[in-house]
Amino acid sequence: MSVTPSYLQDRWQSGTGAGTALVNPVSSATLAHASSAGLDLGTALQHARLRGGPALRALSFAQRGDLLDALAKAIYSVRDELLEVSMANTGVTRSDAKFDIDGGTATLSSYAALGRELGSAMFLTDGAAEQLGRSPRFAGRHIRVPLRGVAVHINAFNFPIWGLAEKLACAFLAGMPVLCKPATATALPTARAAKAMTDSGLLPAGSFSLLVGSVGDLLDHLGAQDVIAFTGSADTGAKIRSHRAVVERSVRVNIEADSLNAVVVGPDVQPGSACYELFLRELVREITQKSGQKCTATRRVLLPAALVGPVSDALRERLLPEYLPKTPTDATARMGALATPSQATDVLQRARELATHCDVVVGALPAEPTTLFPPCVLLAKNSKTAALHSLEVFGPMVTLLPYDGSVVQAAELVALGEGTLVTTVYSDDLEFTTQCVEELAPWTGRLLLGSARIAEFSTGPGLVLPNMAHGGPGRAGGGLELGGVRGLSLYMQTCAVQGARPVLDRLFPAP
């Protein structure tokens, strides 16, 4: 079986040796192999710096936006094929494959629109000119300009298309070439999307590279103008941050790591209310969408004690048997498989460890590792047990944590997770919600306030929107991606320019 090639120096190249088998997680059938052995990654990075960087920086924001829009269309043109490849290689249902693909192309289109708004400029100004001394003639301006290196994107296994697209959108619009390194086990959808992009003839020379297989010595070749944007485990993120070349050359690093995202249900929420139904609907989606394999999926649910019984009963009724996992090709499947056999082992091991501190109130843990892992809900015996706030099961499982209904205890429990990507508060009580914002915001990158007022419109905590910041403090990695124009900052250098006010006005005219 052939080795899936990488795209380096504007051509497709295959690594040597058999490499790693890419399999169907349900049937275990080998679909392809991936190898990066023998590829010259140092030369590939230098090619991107010398060719891709100048080509992108020569374009205005509007022109870069047009490029992103065209790339979105190129990927969408092979959508049907991507759906099949995603279902085969990642075990997702057709609906979840659409979620990944359409989320990726929508993000590209969103940043294309932002490029058109930014117009003919090639870099960003940040704020107005400021007088720096006694005379208004001596002034300063802050500007943001593209870095002169390569944006190295190391992506997770769970979103092979969206992960590619969201990072590329920000880097390209900022004016920086990209080397995308997808997770090896689920690299086939990314490789097919990359093929659509390269076949389109739209990419400026050197602007895009794809590395399929091991990261090899890639990080050894990075320099002070390069950027790493990583999505994955906290352990791997720590290894990247501590890599010798990264430390010695001060390579800029953005980490989006694992996160025990939380939900807080207010004491005012009653069964049958609009807010209660919104909470249940969104929780079921977060447990089952992509089999719970989302960095934004809910892991901890803080409930007033009176709601534990009703919520457990409601989840049992809504999850079973409708969401029992099935082969993705089954037309009745509403939840697919875990993405890799190794994930099956890891999820079961962590679930068993977590269950020692809980009662299983919905579903049951399988006896042996399986990628067809059923949805499961645990009820904590003691909500303050440390393991409940440190051990993440990256699958279709949540833990119910009874609390006394106070903001003080809710904040205490959320904080035990040491940082989340997203926390959700469900309440129609404005005073409770206000206090939650004050106490929870420091611990999370995004705070969703669910209430009856938005029950009809809420996109839920699990959906990452391109105009909202994505990232979180502490355990969540301390990074920030997306957020509209904020997402460009990772790939740009802020420079304070000081000089004569007339010179600055000429260099940086008002829009």
Beta carbons of 150 and 41 less than 8 angstroms apart: no
Q: Which amino acid is at 497?
A: V
Q: Is the peptide bond before 509 cis (omega within 30 degrees of 0)?
A: no
- Residues written for the chain: 511
Pick the closest to residue 62 from 209, 172, 198, 193 (CA basis): 172
- Is this prediction's pTM over 0.85? yes
Per CATH, the homologous superfamily of domain 261-466 is Aldehyde Dehydrogenase; Chain A, domain 2 (3.40.309.10)
Domain coordinates of the chain in residue numbers?
A: 3-257+477-507, 261-466
Beta carbons of 190 and 180 less than 8 angstroms apart: yes
Say what the pLDDT of residue 234 is.
87
What pLDDT, in 10s, does the model give residues 59-73? 999 999 999 999 999
Pick the closest to residue 71 from 119, 105, 103, 100 (CA basis): 105
What pLDDT, in 10s, does the model give residues 81-117? 999 999 999 999 999 999 999 999 999 999 999 999 9
Please give the full DSSP string across 158-193, using - where no structure is assigned.
S-TTHHHHHHHHHHHHHT--EEEE--GGGHHHHHHH
- Produce one character per residue of 229-255: b if its CB has 16 or more CB atoms within 10 Å, e if not: bbbbbbebbeebbebeebeeeebbbbb
Helix axes 61-76 and 187-199, enclosed angle (nearest 10): 120
Q: How many Å is the maximal CA-CA distance in the chain?
A: 77
Encoded tokens for 267: 């004491």
Inter-CA distances, 233 with 238, 256, 394, 424, 462, Å: 9, 8, 11, 22, 18
Say what the pLDDT of residue 294 is.
95
Beta carbons of 144 and 170 less than 8 angstroms apart: no
Active site (catalytic) residues: 256, 295
Q: Which residues contact 124 (CB under 8 A, 6 or more apart)?
A: 118, 143, 144, 145, 485, 488, 492
Per-residue DSSP letter, 420: B
- Give the sheet arrangement for strand 124-131, strand by strand: 124-131, 138-146, 492-500
- The residue ranges of the chain whose pLDDT is under 70 are 1, 511
Cα separation, 321 vs 44, in Å, equals 50
Q: Which helix (H) or strand (E) holds 341?
A: helix 341-355
Pick the closest to residue 157 from 236, 41, 95, 77 (CA basis): 236
Say what the pLDDT of residue 18 is.
83
Fold of the domain spanning 3-257+477-507: Aldehyde Dehydrogenase; Chain A, domain 1 (3.40.605)
Say what the pLDDT of residue 1 is.
56
